[in-house]
Amino acid sequence: MNFDLINLGGLESKRLNELETQLNLISTSTINLDHDSLVFQEDSLYFNFKKERALTPLKIDIQKGALGWRLARPQHETHIKKAIGKTERPLRILDATAGLLGDSMIMLALGHSVTAYEQSKILYTMLDNELNHLAETDSNLLNLKLINSNVCEANFNDKSFDVIYFDPMYPEDKASSARRSDLKKINSILEIEGLASDPESTFTYLRNIPSTKLIVKRPLKADAFKGSINYQITGKSVRFDIYLN
């Protein structure tokens, strides 16, 4: 892979050995600012971008910041709740593009089970490391399955999921300032790994999966994907386009 694995603490550990095997990399102890690098420090991971990218490091801390605030108040997530719909039972939800896992965590907090796909090995590794830290204190994670793969390579049937959730990458200029920063970092990581984002093809694939409902999250003024939208849930900056089978 075209990045370094940095063991910033300098100590060998079982987790470091697992990372070296998982990523097929040999760790070093010094950050080279001319290289992109995944940094392992005190059992935590963050991604440090080389200086020419001019990006601050990407860190994933699910219980802090804006996501932590939202997770403490899941019942306030009115738009996602309306998009999912009223239900007397927990739903099986497919999150087709996990990203930083924010919306998946909200759906778990609302009582549903989630299978989330993330094609980036870097993002998957960071998320998996963070989830392992939280597993003992967050029982909702028992209902989460995180898979490192492009969702379009999976095979599903009409009994796999009740809801499919798709939050595609969209132009950075259509996002909030905080989201633009995350999008730049995610786009850079996909570039480092040689991965492409093809929202139109992914939408077409997801639209053909037998399910009750496909929810597509879009910027408020962005064009919809081709196809007949059954209804929309609209917020201040984003909307949810709902497609029913």
Give the per-residue pLDDT at 100. Answer: 93
19-23 own/partner pairs: CB under 8 Å, 24+ apart = 19/125, 22/125, 23/121, 23/125
Give me the mean pLDDT over the 67-71 stretch: 83
Give the per-residue pLDDT at 158. Answer: 74
Instruction: Please say if the pLDDT value at position 174 is more than 70.
Output: no
Give me the mean pLDDT over the 36-44 stretch: 94
Instruction: Please say if the pLDDT value at position 135 is more than 90.
Output: no
Going by pLDDT thresholds of 50, 70 and 90, the confidence category of residue 35 is very high
Going by pLDDT thresholds of 50, 70 and 90, the confidence category of residue 120 is very high
Low-confidence winner among 14-28, 97-111, 156-170, 205-219 (lowest mean pLDDT) = 156-170
Instruction: Please say if the pLDDT value at position 148 is more than 80.
Output: yes
| Each residue's pLDDT tens digit, 176-208 | 555 678 889 999 999 999 998 899 999 999 999
Domain with CATH 3.40.50.150 in the chain: 65-244
Instruction: Please say if the pLDDT value at position 4 is more than 90.
Output: yes
Give the per-residue pLDDT at 48. Answer: 98
Instruction: Please say if the pLDDT value at position 80 is more than 80.
Output: yes
pLDDT above 70: percentage of residues in the chain: 96
What's the whole-model pTM score?
0.92
List the strands of the sheet with 231-234, edge to edge.
144-147, 113-117, 92-95, 163-166, 213-219, 238-244, 231-234
Which CATH architecture best describes the domain 4-59? 3-Layer(aba) Sandwich (3.40)
Low-confidence winner among 7-11, 39-43, 220-224 (lowest mean pLDDT) = 7-11
CATH topology for 65-244 is Rossmann fold (3.40.50)
Instruction: Please say if the pLDDT value at position 166 is more than 90.
Output: yes
Give the per-residue pLDDT at 200. Answer: 93
Domain with CATH 3.40.1630 in the chain: 4-59
Instruction: Please say if the pLDDT value at position 172 is more than 80.
Output: no
* Residue type at 34 in one-letter notation: D
